[in-house]
Structure 1
Amino acid sequence: MAEHTGPTRLGGLLAEHATRARHEPSATAPLVAPAPAPSGPPSTAPAPAPAPAGAGAADVAVAAELPGVLPVPWEEITGLRQQVADDVDQLKRERRQAGTPLSDRDLEEVVRARVRSRVAKWAGQWSLTHKPLTADELERLRGEVFNLMFLAGALQRVLDRPGVEDVVIDGDQMWIDSHGKPREITRSPFKERAQAIEWVNQMAAASGHGERLLSYATAKVEFDLPDGARVAATLLTENLTIAIRRHRLERATLHDLMQWGSVDWLTGGFLSAAVKAGLSIIVAGDMATGKTTLMRALGREVPKSERLATLESEPELRLNHDDPGQHAHVLAFRTRESNGENGAGEVTLADLVPISLRYKATRVMVGEVRGSEAVAMLEAMIAGGAGSMCTLHSKDPESVVDRLMVPLARAGLSDQAAYRLIASAVDLIVYVDAIDETSMGGQVHRFVSHIWETAGRSEGGGVALGQLFGPRVGDPRARPTRTPVSERRMHKLERKGFQRRWLVEHPDGGWPALELKGASA
């Protein structure tokens, strides 16, 4: 194929998919959500948004109705897709040469027209030696060819179901995790291993990663689908394994998160003011507690006058996909794997920190700190990147600092040097937690449980922490403690609209009732 028709906007098609994901309600509230620093406490706390409708047996049947059950070999479908792609490439070249290039709005209609034409011609030939396809089967075939061009092909119907967050295909089985719902298991949409590998390579090529296709020489590959879903595929497992992760809360703001019950107005307003005031923040939590969702929301609080650099190995923050002018200018940096055995061409997160600052980024956000980038990140917080943020995996609130010490020690810092660096660079540590009750018919409750302020070195030589917000007996969500915020930081918060008297006048904050099916935490 001459020129690839990579993932473009297709008129309103992909925007429609993004909008659907953006506005889909969610019961498992992500993490935190403040409205911009409130002018005063609201009279009542907002109620959590309703959960998306559940998927029943009928939905599982729909998930199974994929190309594998069409009376058409997969090779015929991919062959049609190739013919359509060649037709569209030829037309695009002709239009460019004539000085009238195809617009995004026109491209979708062109593709649909070519799909109809090619399928009609193919169907006539097919019927000479096979049973003719019904009208419904022809419509599904046209849909599959179109999906292979611009969406996720065989898996698009699964990904379009309400609330789907994670899909894992392991051999001939498929696991579907939906927001706040029990896991479903059904068969893979691919009839055989070769078909699944071909799907992976077609989607990788469409994403711009065609130079790294899945094979025994390259046993793993990662790429994005056009709607932003992240795909990882590998041949390193006994069966071919494909994992797809959907970011269904990609567009969430702090205000959204507050409405979903992940934070109350008080904690939300505090975090909003902290970001605007340029405090450096670490967001910590266990797996699937919503760290990235909170980071995205915090990133949207950075003032428009600033420039924010996001540094990631996998694009999850995606703040650069927001409409320009909504918040700070975002430069999205990504790591790069080496292109040879000697590591040539490799760019790590640690490399990206100083690179991003050369582009006059006033703040840096690291998707997740795991290794040597921890030193570079903390040094950037001290050397001009005030207000920078990162996430950190920590299985419990009490181990956040110890967890951060691990990559610092691997980078060669002594304990004393590491503690000194943390105490100097970090202003706040925010811990997010979750209670998963899906196994008993409930939902996942995600919330901020702790906020600490760093207070220099402790008497024992570590990092002194002042707990500003913490849980209460019977309720694990963060409420103000009697620990005062340092005057220097409080003055910064007050300049951004937060009022210290709220911490005293509203000791219980404004959390909605936490309805748990099991015993209270």
Structure 2
Amino acid sequence: MDRDAIAHLLTGRIQQRSVPRPKPSAGLVPAPSPQAPPTGTDPAAVPRLADLPGELPVAWEVIEELQVKVSAELSSRDAQRLLEEEDRRALARSLTTSAVADWAALHAQGHTPLSAEQEAAVRHAVFDAMYRGGRLQSLLDEEGVEDVMVDGTTASVEYNHRPRRTVERVADSHQELITWVNRMAQLSGHGERALSQATPSVGFRMPDGSRVTASLLTTRPSVVIRKHNTRQHGIEALLQWGSINPLLERFLVAAVRARMNILVVGDMGAGKTSLLRALGREIPVEERLVTLESDRELYLDEPGPKGPLTFAFEARQSNGERSGNNQLAGEVTLTDIFETALRYNATRVIVGEVRGREILPMLKAMSASGSGSMCTMHVRRPHAIVSRLVQLCTEAGMASESAHHLIASSIDMVVYLTYRDETALGGRKHRYVSHIYEVHDEVGEGGRPVTTDLFAPTESEPRAVYRNMPSFIEDLELTGIFHRQWLTDNPHGAWGAPLQTVRPR
């Protein structure tokens, strides 16, 4: 098959993609430059994740060649790394533009010239290889992507409202995937988190805020990238998405303003972090907030139109070595951070997710002086909430009876999010508040905390519908933004249109 035929075939594949991308004109798929690769940077240090079908108008070897050239020039211009990171990236973009323009001009001497759109795609790919997600960035940039999961050399991509798709051979080898992980960790400022046999599992944030977890403990090297599409969204966005209705919006905001201790729970992917982030943005600006997270996801310390003074603490992973007392060297857990964080005299504490021993300092902070504090917890079913709390407390060394009393005296309200995935049936994913419970400061029969259903689903409505008046209703009304009659005026009509499900509940 001659060059023109190959070019035509590749162009056809590019044009068949459903995701809008810069598309080459017919017959304009250039071959790699015949020039020898530039020198000055070790090419072996550059991850060579394999081409994703139809993503670029050039072979990936060209991108690698240009990335090496630009990296070498950047190192030469700023050898002492005196530039601020923003200025260094601006210089990298400028050098990339020049390098791609020079390559395109040379390439045009023997081939059909690239269009402006194609040249822009090449520039973006080179910059992505240096500062963003490299070869996986094209997947992360797709509309509606929630998670990219790589198992060896195969990626599975999860979307908001359509079924998962599989992309074969996103890496030529397992070692290339490991090299990509370690390079991304360095770009993110977590160079100590290198994936190796000594440290077989690592986690970090990519430059765009996406959370990466990688491990060698699986059958093949594996990577899960969780993209944060809701980083800057507040409570209004949850209304637009149908996760809450106007009544719940006012109720939850009033509960935050009234300094209720709130636990947000649900299954994996239900939207717990999104709701917690939105509620955190409703804390009055005059307050002081401390957030504690294993991996940064809330971003409540970022400048915004409103919100309290926020100190964001993040746990630190070990470098894999152990100290003389067999403790992981360099590791700082959420439990370790709690004592320091509380010395900041914060008016509230938010824990991104409670998974283990940090449950005790969290509940104690709520019970003693942490009025208005919040956290999330993974629970598969609403009826298992108290059992899950007790389990974590007992695993942390507390007796069950003491755990029940601590839970009752700490938590005021529990919000449960339901996750219903109907993409396999041709539908969409639904995330919505289905239950809200009040936790009373007392224990009942069997020693368990007494709870009341404030909102719960009905036979015809799977989403939260008002059931009972909370005992703290006066506290909500004192905020000036809530009135109790709203709960009883039209409890069954607050959601408006029925939930559009494929299969009846």
Deviation per CA, 1:182-224, whole angstroms, max 9, x where unpaired? 1111223333333333322222111111233223333332221
Structure 2 residue aligned with 1:281, among 253, 258, 262?
Answer: 262
CA change 1:66–1:280 in 2 (3 A) is same
| 1:80 matches 2:69 | yes
Deviation per CA, 1:135-168, whole angstroms, max 9, x where unpaired? 3676554332211232222122221111111111
SS in 2 for 1:472: coil
Deviation per CA, 1:56-86, whole angstroms, max 9, x where unpaired? 8433998523579716277635523531431
CA separation in 1, counterparts of 2:60 and 2:423?
38
| 1:493 matches 2:453 | no
CA separation in 2, counterparts of 1:271 and 1:114?
50
Q: If the length of structure 1 is used for normalisation, what is the TM-score?
A: 0.80
Q: Contact 1:285–1:393 (CA<8 Å) still a contact in 2? A: yes
Matches within 5 A, 1:195-344: 195-323=176-304, 326-339=306-319, 340-341=321-322, 342-343=326-327, 344=329
CA separation in 1, counterparts of 2:16 and 2:462?
32
Aligned residues: 453
Instruction: In structure 1, give the amino acid aligned to 2:251.
Output: F
CA separation in 2, counterparts of 1:56 and 1:417?
62
Deviation per CA, 1:276-333, whole angstroms, max 9, x where unpaired? 110001111111111111111111111111111111111111212242x511111111
Unaligned runs of 5+ in 1: 1-54, 94-100
Instruction: In structure 2, give the amino acid aligned to 1:148.
Output: A
Seq. identity, %: 40
Q: CA deviation at 1:495?
A: 0.8
Instruction: In structure 1, give the amino acid aligned to 2:349.
Output: V
Structure 2 residue aligned with 1:438, among 390, 399, 423?
Answer: 423
CA change 1:476–1:234 in 2 (3 A) is same
CA change 1:61–1:300 in 2 (3 A) is closer
Q: Contact 2:156–2:167 (CA<8 Å) still a contact in 1? A: yes
Per mean C-alpha deviation after superposition, the further-off stretch among 134-143 and 151-160 is 134-143
Q: CA deviation at 1:459?
A: 2.9
CA separation in 2, counterparts of 1:117 and 1:409?
61
Deviation per CA, 1:213-254, whole angstroms, max 9, x where unpaired? 223333332221211111222222232222111011222211
Deviation per CA, 1:27-81, whole angstroms, max 9, x where unpaired? xxxxxxxxxxxxxxxxxxxxxxxxxxxx984339985235797162776355235
Q: Contact 1:224–1:231 (CA<8 Å) still a contact in 2? A: yes
Matches within 5 A, 1:136-151: 140-151=121-132
| 1:474 matches 2:460 | yes
Q: Could you tell me which residue of structure 2 aligns to residue 505 of structure 1? A: 489
SS in 1 for 2:148: strand
Q: CA deviation at 1:127?
A: 11
Deviation per CA, 1:378-427, whole angstroms, max 9, x where unpaired? 00002211111111111111110011000111122222111110110110
Structure 2 residue aligned with 1:161, among 142, 150, 153?
Answer: 142
Alignment RMSD: 2.9
Q: If the length of structure 2 is used for normalisation, what is the TM-score?
A: 0.82
Q: Could you tell me which residue of structure 2 aligns to residue 516 of structure 1? A: 500
Instruction: In structure 2, give the amino acid aligned to 1:374.
Output: I
Instruction: In structure 2, give the amino acid aligned to 1:460.
Output: G
CA separation in 2, counterparts of 1:454 and 1:412?
23
SS in 2 for 1:166: strand
Q: Could you tell me which residue of structure 1 aligns to residue 7 of structure 2? A: none
Where relative contact order (Cα < 8 A, 6+ residues apart) is larger, the structure is 1
CA separation in 1, counterparts of 2:404 and 2:169?
49
SS in 2 for 1:231: strand
CA separation in 2, counterparts of 1:467 and 1:384?
26
